[in-house]
Amino acid sequence: MSVKLNTRQVGDVSVVDVAGRITLGEGSSALRDTLREMVTKNQKKILLNLGDVSYIDSSGIGELVSGFTTVANSGGTLKLLNLTKRVKDLLQITKLYTVFDVHDDEASAVRSFA
Amino acid sequence: MTFLAGVIYSGHSTSRTILGSARGSARVTGNMPDLARHGSEAVERFLDSTLASVDHAEEIASGMAQLAGFDEDDLMKIGIAVREAVVNAVVHGNRYNANKKVRFSVVKNSERLTVRVADEGEGFDSEHLPDPLAPENLLRTSGRGIFLIRSFMDELEINRLRAGGTELVLIKYKLAK
């Protein structure tokens, strides 16, 4: 049970399409490694497309938070796109929904980085 | 909680299934009638302290919850709560120690689903856990497990075991409150 990550560029925004389950183990560490690599490559505008994330546990939430902080500390911004109802509910009950900038449309999400 | 005398040894040397079922497809002996009448079913496993056990426990609990008639939303909540409890047992309780097991059981009856997760660790102070919703903790990368269990289950008991270790008891009621 793991996660699939696909990275693409839309202008100067790096979009990471995440699919599967972000849970303790392979799933959360794959996301962590990808985000760290992007920060190392000085990518400042990162959009996580979580449209195909069916499931996230507290470790997965931890990785989102860690990614958010790491990117912010390097002077960049990490935003979220296309939350499923389940992921949105989880972020709401953990009071993280308002911490992240969440979008439901890719084009406007990309524009919002300007 | 009564575990029935029908014991089926699976292929894994580390697991033992005690299964009581009203359906009669399992070999059951002993004090069966009461639980059979009430449509109860119980599963107990001794899981290794690995992340694979988290998946395994989630499957068992979700399967039982589905049989018990919980809806999709509750199935997801039970699955997440069980995962969090078993992760805590494996990672914090037993610290992945191959010599330590996680005792995992699921019991369903007409009223509720009860999941017990016990580790062989050193215990922890459950009364003074940092609040993950407090502003100073919001951006911490861990510490939300117990909170999620409480959010998704109807009851959570945290018991310090006399023999050492911690037992979490997670209960979800079937009827609307």
Measured between CB atoms, which of B55, B84, B138 is closest to A96?
B138
- pLDDT 10s per residue in chain A (114 long)? 589 999 999 999 999 999 999 999 888 889 999 999 999 999 999 999 999 998 899 999 999 999 999 999 999 999 999 999 999 999 999 999 999 999 999 999 999 998
Three-state DSSP class for residue A1: coil
Residue type, B173: Y
CB B149 within 8 A of CB B81: yes
User: What does each C-alpha distance from B54 to A24, A79, B100 come to in angstroms?
Assistant: 9, 30, 15
Range of the domain at B67: 7-173
Q: Select from B59, B75, B83, B141 the residue whose CB has the most chain A CBs within 10 Å, as the one to mutate to test that interface.
A: B141
Structural domains counted in chain B = 1
Question: Averaged in consecutive runs of 10 residues, what is the pLDDT profile of chain B (177 residues)?
Answer: 36 36 34 48 96 96 96 94 97 97 96 97 89 92 94 97 94 81
Q: Do A94 and B55 touch (CB under 8 A)?
A: no
Q: Do A99 and B133 touch (CB under 8 A)?
A: no
CATH number, position B25: 3.30.565.10
A3-111 — its CATH code? 3.30.750.24
Q: Residue B1 falls within a domain, yes or no? A: no
By C-alpha distance, the chain A residue nearest B83 is A57
Domain ranges of chain A: 3-111
Q: Residue B50 falls within a domain, yes or no? A: yes
